Structure 1
Amino acid sequence: MTDELFRKEMLDMTPDSVLTKEATDRFKIFYGDVDAAFKFAYAIGFLLVGWLIDRIGTKRGFSLGIFVWSIAAVMTTFVGNMTSLRWARVFLGLGEAANFPSSVKTVAEWFPRRERSFANGLFNAGTNVGIILTALLVPHLILQFGWRSSFLVTGLLGFGLLIFWWFMYHKPERSPQLSADELAYIRSDKEKMAPVNVSWGQLLGYKQTWAFAIGKFMADPIWWFYMSWLPDFFNSNDALDQKLDLKTFGVPFLIIYVVSDAGSIFFGWLSTQLMGRGWSANRARKTTMLICALCVVPIFFAAQTSSLTIAIALISLATAAHQGWAANMYTFASDLFPRNVVASVTGIGGMFGAVGGILLSLLAGRIITAFGYLPMFMIASCAYLLALVIIHLVLPKLEPVTTEELEKSGNWSLASDQ
C-alpha cells in the first residue's frame, strides 16, 4: 500500500477499526509528522502574534487569533487527505499561538508584579479545563457521530468565545467597573511605561529573553508529548495491568488534568506567598521551579510499572509540576520586561518552545516504535532540572530590563492601548 493511500485510510478510520502492528507503527510516524506541522505553524505564529499583539493591543490581537483558530477547526471537519489535514493543522497552530502571549500580557496589564505568578497559575489552569471537557465529551462525539464532528463542535464554540472576549475585555484604564483605588493598586509597581517598539533582534540581545526562551524550549515539548502520546501509552502499553481505549480513558485523564490544574494554581500561589514573606523574585521563582523540577523526576517509573494506578499517579504528579513550572516561567516575561513588550517576549519564548516540540514530535513516533516509551519518559525526567541549571547560569539574578535600556536599543513609536 502506498503512503498516500495509507494516509487516506487513516482518515476514514472508525472507532471500531482494527490495525495490524505494522499499520499501527506507520500511523505513529505519520501522526508525529502531522503533529510537527502543527507545531511548526505554532512556532511561527508565536513570533508573529506576540509582535502583533504589542502593536494592535491585547483585545484585537487575541480576537484575531480566536477567529483564525475557529476557522481552522471547522476546516478540519472537511479534510479529505493528509495534505489538507496538514494545512488545517497549520492554520490551527497559527491561531492558537495567540493564546499565551495574550494571556500573559493580560495578566501584566491587570496585576502588579507580586501577584502575577498566582494569576498566571489560574489562567494556566484554565487551559486544562478545556482538556478536561475534551476528555469527557469528545469520545462520545466520536463514537456517536465520527471524529469530524469533534472539530466542528469545538470550532463553533470558538466563535462563541470570540463574541464573549470582544464584549468582555477592556484594559484597566478603560474598564467601567474599575474604581480609581483599584487602578492605583494594579499600577502600584510604579513601572515606568512608554510607547516603545523594539524589534525581535533587539530583544534577543538580552540575557533575560534567553533565560525565558531556554525554559520554554526544554519544558514545553514535554507537555506536548503528554498531550499527544498519553492516550496511545495507556492504550498500547502491554506492561500495564489495564488498558484504556476511547470508551474508558475519560476518568483517568480527568484525574490527570484536575491534578495538573491544582499544580498550576498551587505553585503559582507558592511563589507569590514566598515573595509576600520577603523573598526576592529570584529566590521565590527559582525555588518553586526547583521543587517542580524534582517532582517530575520519578515519571520514568511510569514506563516500567505494571500498575495503571501507579502510572496515572506518577503522570499526574509530573503534569502538575509542569503546570507549576509553566506558571512561574510566564512570570519571567512580565517580571523582566515592561508591559509594552511582554507579548513579544512571550512570543519569542513560545516560538522556542514550539521548535522544541517540533523536534520531539519528529523523533517521538520513531523512538516509541523502536524502543517503547521509557526513553521518552527519561527525557521528561531530566528536562526541567537541566533547564533550571542553564537558566541560572544564564541569569543568576532576575534583573528586569528597564525602559531606559529599551530606549537606548529600540525604535520609539506609538503603541496601541487597546
Structure 2
Amino acid sequence: MNTVAGNTRIRWWIAGLMWLAIAINYIDRTVLSAAAPHLIDELNLTPELMGFIMAAFFWSYSLLQIPAGWFADRFGQKKGLGIAVAWWSIATSVMGLATGFKSLLALRLALGVGEAAAYPSNAGIAARWFPDKERATVSGLFDSASKFGGAVAMPLIVWMIALFDWRITFGIIGSIGLLWVIAWYFIYAENPEEHRHISREEISLIRNGQLRKHGDKNIRPMKWYRLLRYRNIWAMCIGFFTINYTSYFFITWLPTYLVKDKGMDFIKMGMIAALPLLCGMIIEVLAGWMSDRVVHKKLLSLTATRKLFLSIGLLMALCIGFAPFTDSVFMTVLLLCVAKSGTTVAASQVWALPGDVAPKNSVSVVAGLQNTVSNMGGAVGPIVTGAIVAATGSFTWALVFSALLVVIGILNYLFLMGKVEPISDDENIPAHQVSMGQA
C-alpha cells in the first residue's frame, strides 16, 4: 500500500526518461547521416551503397517492432526498454570500427535490432502511467525528442567529427545511452501502484482518468495478426507509412541534399539541417497539448480531433514537394521547416492512437505493428531517394514523390480510418487459462 503524502508528479519524471530515451535513440541513428559525406569519400562508397547502408537500419528496426512490442507488453517495459537502450548504445560505439560497406551494413542492422523496442515501449508506458486526457500531450512530448535528437546530432556531431574524427565520435555518442540505463532501473516502475515514491492522489488521478486500464499481469497481449482484422489498424499503418517516408528524409539524405544540391559547406550544413527538426520539436508538443485540450473540453469528438490534426499536419508536410523549385536557400529551408513540422503535428496523434484503440495490455503490440509498416518507409525511402538522385542527378523528383505519398496519407486518414475507439477485449484470455505453448 502506498503511503506517500501529497500530490506527487512521478509520471512526469517517467515522461522525462521516455523523452531522453528517444533523444538518445535519434542521436545514435543520426550519427551515420551526419558523417555520410566523410564516409562516402573515405570508404569509397557510391550514393547507391550509402542508400543501402542508411536503409539497413530500417530493415531490422521494422521487422522487430512487433516482437519488441510483445516482449514489452508480456514482460514489462522496464526490461524491454532498458535492454534495448543498452544494446543500441553498444552497437553505436562499435560502429566506429567499421572498415567498409559490409561492416557498416552489419552494424547498422544491429543498431536497428536494439532501437526497435523504443517506441512500442514508450506507447505502452504512456497508456499505463498517464490519464487519457494527457495521452496526446505525452505522446507528442516523447516523440518530439526524436527531432531534438536529430537537431542536436547534426551540429554536435559535425563539430565532433571536425575536432576528432568520425570513428571517435561514434564511440563517444554510443556511451551516453549506458548512463540512461542506470537511471532507468532506479527510477521506473511497471505500474503507478508499484512506485515507492508516488502518492495516492497521483495514482487516483492516473487510474480514474483512464477509460481502459493496462498492466494486469493476468491478461496476455492480443496476438498481432488478429489485430489485422480491424479497419483502424490498417489505416494507422498505411497513414504512418506515408508520414515516415517523408519524415526520414530529414535524418538520412537532408545533409547530403544541402551540400550537393544547395552548395552549402559542411559546417553551415550542420547548423541549417537542425532547423527543421527544432521547429518540429516545438510544434509537436504544442499540437499534442492542443489536441488534448480540444478533446477534454469536448469541442470535438476524439475521432474528429485525431482526423483534424492528422490532416492539418499532412497538408503542411506537402511543402516538401515545393522545396526544390526555389533558388532561394531561405525559402528552401522555410519550406522544409514547415514540412517537417507538419509530420510532427501528425506524429503527435499517431503515437496517441495505440492507446486510443488497443485492447488491454496490447498497446505496445499495436504500436509495434503500426511502426513495423510505417518504417518500411524508412527501409525503402533512402534506397528510392538514392536511386532517383543517381538517375536524375538531383533531389527534385525524389521530393516530389514524397509529396505524392503525403496526399495518399491524407485520403487514408479521412476515409479509411473509422471511429477512434478501443478494440474489444474478448480475445484477451487470462494468462492462467493459457498454456505456455500458446504464448
TM-score range with shorter-chain normalisation? 0.7 to 0.9
1:177–1:384 Cα change, 3 Å: farther
Q: TM-score, normalised by structure 2?
A: 0.84
Shift of 1:339: 4.7
**Cα separation, partners in 2 of 1:414 and 1:77, compared to 1, 3 Å:** farther
| Letter paired with 2:334 | A
Post-superposition offset of 1:411: 9.9
In the TM superposition, what is the alpha-carbon distance from 1:63 to its structure 2 partner? 0.8
Cα deviation for residue 305 of structure 1 reads 0.8
Deviations along 1:129-172, one digit per CA (max 9) or x if unpaired, are 22222122111211122111221011111111111222121231
Partner of 2:144: 125
Q: CA offsets, 1:180-211, max 9 Å, x none?
A: 12111111224255512322211222223212
Could you say what the CA RMSD is over the residues aligned between the two structures, in angstroms?
2.5
- The SS at the match of 1:247 is helix
Residue 306 of structure 1 deviates from its aligned partner by: 0.9
Matched, 1:318 2:342: no
Look up the match of 1:393.
415
TM-score normalised according to structure 1 size: 0.88
Q: Which residue of 2 aligns with 1:146?
A: 165
Closer/same/farther in 2, CA of residues 265 and 198 from structure 1, 3 Å limit: same
Structure 1: unaligned runs, 5 residues or longer: 1-11
- Which residue matches 2:205? 185
Aligned amino acid, residue 175 of structure 1: H
Q: 1:308 to 1:111 in 2, by over 3 A?
A: same
Q: How far apart, in 1, do the equivalents of 2:88 and 2:149 lie?
A: 15
Q: Within 2, Cα distance between the matches of 1:148 and 1:139?
A: 12
1:12-411 matches, cutoff 5 A = 15=38, 27-170=46-189, 171-188=191-208, 189-191=210-212, 193=214, 194=216, 195-237=219-261, 240=262, 243-278=263-298, 279-371=300-392, 372-404=394-426, 406-407=428-429
Residues 15, 246 of structure 1: 8 Å contact kept: no
Q: Is 2:154–2:273's contact at 8 Å kept on the other side of the alignment?
A: yes
Q: Does the CA-based 8 Å contact 1:112-1:185 persist in structure 2?
A: yes
> Please, which runs of 5 or more residues in structure 2 have no aligned partner?
1-34
CA contact (8 A) 2:311 2:413 kept: no
- C-alpha deviation, 1:177, in angstroms: 2.6
C-alpha distance in structure 2 between counterparts of 1:343 and 1:175, whole Å: 21
**Would you say the 8 A contact 1:108–1:339 is kept in 2?**
no
Distance 1:339 1:262, change over 3 A: farther
Name the CA distance, whole Å, in 2 between partners of 1:17 and 1:387: 33
Aligned mates of 1:94, 1:367 — CA distance in 2: 28
Change in Cα spacing, 1:323 to 1:233, as seen in structure 2 (3 Å) is same
User: How many matched pairs?
Assistant: 395
Amino acid paired to 1:263: I
CA distance in 2, matches of 1:393, 1:84: 44
SS at match of 2:266: coil
- Classify 1:412/1:314 alpha carbon distance in 2 versus 1 (closer, same or farther; 3 Å): farther
Contact 1:197 1:412 survives alignment (8 Å): no
Residue 73 (structure 1) shift:
0.7
User: Percent same amino acid among aligned pairs?
Assistant: 26
Q: Distance between the aligned counterparts of 2:424 and 2:205, measured in 1? A: 21
Q: d(CA) in 1 for partners of 2:50 and 2:356? A: 38
Question: 1:315-370: per-residue Cα shift (whole Å, max 9, x none)?
Answer: 01111110111110111111001351111111111111122222222211010122
The one-letter code of the counterpart of 1:268 is G
Per the alignment, in what secondary structure is the counterpart of residue 409 of structure 2?
helix
- 2:361 partner SS: helix
